[in-house]
Amino acid sequence: MDGMVVTLLNHSVDYSAGIHWNDPRQTKLWRYCLHYMACLRQEGMTPAAQRKWMHAWVAGNPHPRSEGWEPFPTSQRLTNWFKIWWAAGFSEDDEPLLASAYAQTRHLRRFVERHIDVNHLFENLKTLFWAGCMFAGAEAEAWRSWAALHLARELRVQVLSDGGHYERSPMYHSLVLEGCLDLLNIRLAWAKQHPDLADLLVSKVEAMLVWLDRMTHPDGEIALFNDAAFKIAPAPGVLFDYGQRLGFHWPSSSRLSHLQESGYVVIRDNGHYLVMDIGPIGPEHQPGHGHCDLLSFEWSIGVQRIVCDSGVYAYQDPVMRPYVRSTAAHNTLRIDGEDQSEIWKEFRVARRAHPQKISVETAPDGTVHVAASHDGYRRLPGRPIHRRGFTYHGGRLSLRDHVTGSGVHDIEAFIHFHPEIAVQNLSRTMYNLALGESKIGQIAFENWQEAQLVQGWHCPEFGRREPNTVLKLMSRVQLPFHGQIDIKLDRWPA
């Protein structure tokens, strides 16, 4: 371990004097990632180096009340250990590590995260099931049987009818999909004992692969709705390859996909990729990874993202965490400076917006019309309701915002452009969009009193943020209000 620099979440720490497993100078998520030990499966990591890391963790974390023994990092770490052993087998030198893994599993079984639920509970159950396949004996068999029962229940609840994970984050969807693929990869060890679970996993994985295919931009990366960032879960291409190696096949994307229960609409059209969010913030009982992105959208042409989501910078940052979850960080509309759902702390949501009156239609000429309303602002005086219509045809998108209710209100709309896109003022109501020296499109608007170009933040990875240009439109009006934004992309980026 001497001379070691550990880089996680784009943040490097020098541990030349030895790893500080519970370093108070780092964020909780960074320390969690250290305890996950995903580095064990990095390319070039030798078996000797893997065991050195594993023994270091055992020596450095003897107390089961320390952070590394919490259920979620324990689940992640054990999965990484199990993958190593499953692929390469055991040696005599592994006996102390196997004894530690057994003790960690026993501890995990006592502290399953029912109170957090969602992806945490799935990871706990997946790990307990795998441990029941790794170890022999009555206790291990009890782990597997108990986890199989609850995994089946959670898969039916957490994987929606359209294949999406119910937290509605493409990143967490990918992590849960990887876990399901892992279980199917070792099914020879358990399928005879649990045939119903095997059949359920196959059906869910098929749908999850389709969902991920629809939610992947042409650049090969996920859409960044809710808590989502690159390089946390395996990239979509890696998961697609994993699925194909396990025998899965799925139809290619159609021009229009409506992921109805998740609440996403996707258009693929002659190089354009447009994805719109018309769904709930997350599970009603646990929306902790949700953002104020209802009626927002992302738009790419080719591998170039044009209109983007703000992504995620950190979970424990007191400035960036509220920013990336806020309405102003998304391509949607804000009223009276309030968020469409009341977000607070790192993972809390109080009164929240619910989508209503959803319609998705295609006209005979191929024009796609998508519309939805939400009630997130009904808590304000005058009880405003926001309705947005998206109309797309041939590289042109029209946004029509309608706010009903009563009284005078401040209405703001935000359009976030990828950091590589330059926005150039042409007139009071029109801007050019450029990539390098090439003009790629225009944005124009009607019935807005004022426009500003302001700086936002694009955070495609944890710990990485890039300044970007945000078009902010403003009106102070007596309701009802009607505003329009028209965006056209007229050439493929060079």
Is the peptide bond preceding residue 480 cis, with omega within 30 degrees of 0?
yes
Structure tokens at 326: 């806020």
Closest CA to 311 of 404, 401, 419: 419
pLDDT at 491: 62
Cβ–Cβ under 8 Å, residues 68 and 53 = no
- The 264-269 sheet, strands edge to edge: 256-259, 264-269, 272-277, 297-301, 304-307
pLDDT digits (tens, 9 = 90+) for 111-150: 999 999 999 999 999 999 999 999 999 999 999 999 999 9
Residue 58 lies in a domain: no
316-323, long-range: CB within 8 Å, 24+ apart, which pairs? 316/27, 316/28, 316/29, 316/346, 317/27, 320/457, 320/459, 320/465, 321/346, 323/457
Average pLDDT over the chain reads 96
pLDDT at 1: 42
- Asked if the model's pLDDT at residue 493 lies above 60, the reply is no
pLDDT at 3: 52
pLDDT digits (tens, 9 = 90+) for 249-258: 999 889 999 9
pLDDT at 2: 41
Q: How many domains does the chain have?
A: 1
Measured distance CA(332)–CA(416) in Å, rounded: 10
DSSP 342: -
Residue 16 lies in a domain: no
Cβ–Cβ under 8 Å, residues 267 and 368 = yes
The stretch 404-412 carries a mean pLDDT of 99
Q: pLDDT: is 167 or 87 the higher one?
A: 167
- For 384, the domain range is 259-494
pLDDT at 402: 99
Structure tokens at 80: 């990484």
Cβ–Cβ under 8 Å, residues 205 and 184 = yes
- Partners of 387 in the β-ladder: 373, 402
Structure tokens at 296: 């927002």
pLDDT digits (tens, 9 = 90+) for 14-56: 998 889 999 999 999 999 999 999 999 888 889 999 999 999 9
> What is the number of residues in the chain?
494
What CATH number corresponds to the domain at position 372?
2.70.98.70
pLDDT at 419: 99
* 3-class secondary structure, 325: helix
Residue 356 lies in a domain: yes
The stretch 257-273 carries a mean pLDDT of 97
pLDDT digits (tens, 9 = 90+) for 341-366: 999 999 999 999 999 999 999 999 99
- Asked if the model's pLDDT at residue 208 lies above 70, the reply is yes
Residue 288 lies in a domain: yes
Residue 14 lies in a domain: no
Residue 342 lies in a domain: yes
Residue 281 lies in a domain: yes
pLDDT digits (tens, 9 = 90+) for 306-335: 999 999 999 999 999 999 999 999 999 999
- Output phi, psi for 62, to 5 deg: -75, -20
Measured distance CA(413)–CA(464) in Å, rounded: 25
- Partners of 268 in the β-ladder: 273
pLDDT digits (tens, 9 = 90+) for 382-394: 999 999 999 999 9
Residue 151 lies in a domain: no
Structure tokens at 143: 């782990």
